[in-house]
Amino acid sequence: MAALQSNPLKCYNSHNLLGGGQYEPPVSKEEPTMRFNCILRVVALTLVVCAFALVLSTCGGGKQSSVASLQSSDRSGGLQAADYPADNPPVEVSLDSALVELDALETPDGVDAELFAELNDALREALDQRFSSLTPNPSSLTPAKLVSTPPTGEANRVNDLQITDNGGGTYTLSWHYRNLGDYDQSGTVGISDITPIAMHYGETYDPETEPNCLLAVIDGNGDGKVGIADITPIAMYYSTDCAGYSIRGSSTYPESLDETVEIGTVEIALATGEGRKRFSELLPESEYQFFAVAPYDGDSSLGDLSNVVILEMTDWHTGTVDSVDDVGEWTSLAVVNGNPAISYRDDTNQDLKYVRASDASGSSWGSPVTVDSAGNVGLFNSLAVVNGNPAISYYDGTNMSLKYVRASDSSGESWGTPVAADSVVVVGPITSLAVVNGNPAISYLDWGNTALMYVRADDANGESWGAPVTVDGAGDDVGWYASLAVVSSNPAISYWDGTNQDLKYVRANDASGSDWTTIPPVTVDSAGLVGEWTSLAVANGNPAISYFDYTNNDLKYVRASDAGGIIWGTPVTVDGAGDDVGWCTSMVVVNGNPAISYYGNTDLKYVRASDASGGSWDASVAVDSEGIVGEYTSLAVVNGNPAISYYSSTNADLKFAIYY
């Protein structure tokens, strides 16, 4: 490693769900209370939906006197037309047929007859109001009818879908049944669902600790007690039908049902369990990484999509992109017109080069394009998509100036003429390109004055550039390893203060980056020689930085406590296994959590956090260990998966790796 340590710029890289949705109960509207004809007193039915979590258990407290508890129960709220589920064809149910079925229902064994009669009358009243809210067909003299629908709405959305690795390449999906009002869990909300209320009337449980017990299923209003108010959901969701669940797959994180495809089904009869019924199904083989389920009814109409689970990928695929001469230093990876693309340095010819994959996953690549060959160019390059076309910032070693060039098309097959974004003597190393407030902008090092600089174009394409701004010139050696990103709408930069050997961060006071003086730079980490090879990204709303701790030879990560980056948390050692881990870091957010590619112990390595903020991290993996590989890493999300461009020192080649 002596050769690497002797060059402080070696390896510098300048480029850089399930969960279930949180259930919120619907809000009931006030309305006059209903009167039960049989008991001549006010009974108001509560409209509150129970929120459930993933706990499989049985439950129940002591059963109170049935009649006494019914007479003393608190009945508040009531049904309104706006609370009813939407009516969708095809199965029609009339009020008369429902009442005939209700009249034929016998008192269950062991249930007080008076109690059952009162519950019967309450359901009759609720059904009458439910049907009376429907709009009859103007061309027909027949009464309005309810139609069968699959379970919909947040109350019926599966929010506890899980995926389990069985080993041997097989996985199991598991989740709990949800169909509010279907207390006997037959698949359809109907008259028979009054029976479980009668059999467990007055029993209590703890909704927080026993959300999947039998009483939680019957407790439709979610108050922790089985009572007369639980009749309301039966009327609300009457005839809602769940014939089974459709297992859905997607290659990218789906935001809606339309973004998934069906890869299998499971019938309601296959659900098991003593409490809330549970499904446990072997995941069908497919090419997808993201999975969810949705209920379907007897007509195969689909309900709402569940929470999404991710099948953690198990294999990195590596390949050589360019092997002609000594190529692949200073790589920068981005997705260009749907496919991965890389800018890099051809060290043999001292040229700036660019290559784009022929497909979305980078399994095959096109021919490399020489973007600039005028002198010693292409060092410290950074690739980004600018106004629809790929663009690159880089250092022109011959003229010792900062250069910028943009392609003439969206794929980068042809390129325009490079322009000097800053031509003061010895400026331009350590470039980082980003689109800031609509125009391209670059952070870089003024090598002559060893100051951190920033410049932004005057137009969206980068044809002309504004006056460079000195961001931090305090000290004799600041601005190394700079990484530019937009943080809370304003440009921000992480960098190394070589004078004090500290990690620093600064954010502009405006969206374009014209004012960097109002808020001074923040020293993020000063414990030893720290802060080389920084990479800045936004993790869970706040800025975060990956970097190298030279003193301890460790990969470090730190995240701000606020959205602007004024206050920073305690740095986390992400990888400290062995000597020299954490060089050439590149960080992006992968499937919701921050992830880092880096060079360590002569290998290309990758690690992803266990949570969205980066408070804890999974074990790192060696992506490529064939020889000395992994310098100049650049990490990006490609076709929904993490991917890395990097340099093989052993073979002097440009390489690419993707995880799927």
- Helix pair angle (113-132, 95-103), 10° resolution: 180
Neighbouring C-alpha atoms within 13 Å toward the C-beta of 121: 15
pLDDT at 83: 37
pLDDT in tens, 166-193: 765 678 999 999 999 999 999 999 999 9
Same domain, 188 and 88: yes
Same domain, 91 and 8: no
Q: Does residue 335 belong to any structural domain of this protein?
A: no
Distances in whole angstroms, Cα of residue 405 to Cα of each of 331, 414, 508: 16, 11, 25
Q: Does residue 49 belong to any structural domain of this protein?
A: yes
Q: How far apart are the first and last CA of the chain?
A: 32
pLDDT at 59: 59
Same domain, 124 and 38: yes
Same domain, 99 and 130: yes
pLDDT at 30: 31
Residue 70 in this model has a pLDDT that exceeds 70: no
pLDDT at 433: 98
pLDDT in tens, 250-307: 988 898 999 999 999 999 999 999 999 999 999 887 778 899 999 999 999 999 999 9
Same domain, 7 and 87: no
Q: Are 16 and 433 in contact (CB under 8 A)?
A: no
pTM above 0.85, yes or no: no
Give the chain's mean pLDDT.
85
Which of these three, 540, 575, 597, is where a domain ends?
597
Q: Tell me the average pLDDT across 634-649.
A: 96
From the number of C-beta atoms within 10 Å of its C-beta (0-12, 13-18, 19+), residue 517 rates as exposed
- Give which of 475, 476, 547, 545 is closest to 507, Cα–Cα: 545
Give every CB contact of residue 177 below 8 A, 6+ residues apart in sequence: 185, 242, 268, 271, 276, 277, 278, 279
Q: Choose between 493 and 299: higher pLDDT.
A: 493
From the number of C-beta atoms within 10 Å of its C-beta (0-12, 13-18, 19+), residue 364 rates as exposed
Residue 67 in this model has a pLDDT that exceeds 60: no
Neighbouring C-alpha atoms within 13 Å toward the C-beta of 249: 14
CA angle 234, 236, 240 (to 5 degrees): 75
Q: 69: which DSSP letter?
A: H
pLDDT in tens, 349-397: 999 999 999 999 999 999 999 999 999 999 999 999 999 999 999 999 9
Backbone angles phi, psi at 71, to 5 degrees: -70, -25
Residue 97 in this model has a pLDDT that exceeds 50: yes
Same domain, 12 and 61: no
Q: Does residue 454 belong to any structural domain of this protein?
A: yes
Q: Does residue 313 belong to any structural domain of this protein?
A: no
pLDDT at 203: 97
Q: Does residue 293 belong to any structural domain of this protein?
A: no
Q: Give me the count of residues in the chain.
A: 660
Backbone angles phi, psi at 74, to 5 degrees: -85, 120
Q: 489: which DSSP letter?
A: T
Backbone angles phi, psi at 586, to 5 degrees: -145, 125
Is the CA virtual torsion 398, 400, 406, 411 positive or negative?
Answer: positive
Which of these three, 570, 597, 624, is where a domain ends?
597
CA angle 442, 447, 452 (to 5 degrees): 45
Token representation of residue 33: 């209370």
pLDDT at 139: 52
Same domain, 451 and 587: yes
pLDDT in tens, 15-57: 332 222 322 322 332 332 232 222 222 223 332 233 333 223 3
Provide the pLDDT confidence category of residue 142 given band limits of 50, 70 and 90: low
pLDDT in tens, 201-239: 999 999 999 999 999 999 999 999 999 999 999 999 999
- Give which of 610, 482, 493, 502 is closest to 543, Cα–Cα: 493
Q: Does residue 613 belong to any structural domain of this protein?
A: no
Q: Residue 507 belongs to a domain with what CATH number?
A: 2.120.10.10
pLDDT at 426: 78
Provide the pLDDT confidence category of residue 519 given band limits of 50, 70 and 90: confident
Taking the C-alpha atoms of residue 187 and residue 269, their distance in angstroms, rounded to an integer, is: 8
Q: Choose between 532 and 92: higher pLDDT.
A: 532
pLDDT at 4: 28
Same domain, 12 and 79: no
Distances in whole angstroms, Cα of residue 165 to Cα of each of 43, 170, 264, 308, 422: 50, 6, 18, 16, 54
- Element (H or E) spanning 128, and its range? helix 113-132
Which of these three, 172, 205, 236, is where a domain ends?
236
Structurally, how many domains does the chain consist of?
2
pLDDT at 35: 27
**292 bridge partner residues:** 248
Same domain, 139 and 6: no
Q: Choose between 417 and 660: higher pLDDT.
A: 417
Taking the C-alpha atoms of residue 198 and residue 228, their distance in angstroms, rounded to an integer, is: 9
pLDDT at 447: 84
Q: Does residue 13 belong to any structural domain of this protein?
A: yes
Q: Are 280 and 174 in contact (CB under 8 A)?
A: yes
pLDDT at 174: 97
pLDDT at 135: 65
Same domain, 518 and 585: yes
Q: Are 80 and 126 in contact (CB under 8 A)?
A: no
Taking the C-alpha atoms of residue 107 and residue 54, their distance in angstroms, rounded to an integer, is: 33
Residue 43's domain comprises: 34-157+182-236
Same domain, 219 and 357: no
pLDDT at 11: 42
pLDDT in tens, 409-466: 999 999 999 999 998 877 778 999 999 999 999 999 998 888 999 999 999 999 999 9
Sort strands 490-497 and 244-250 into parallel, antiparallel or unpaired.
Answer: unpaired
Q: 30: which DSSP letter?
A: P
pLDDT at 57: 35
Residue 524 in this model has a pLDDT that exceeds 50: yes
Q: Does residue 266 belong to any structural domain of this protein?
A: no
Same domain, 12 and 101: no
Alpha helix stretches (DSSP H) within 526-632: none
From the number of C-beta atoms within 10 Å of its C-beta (0-12, 13-18, 19+), residue 4 rates as middle
pLDDT at 94: 86
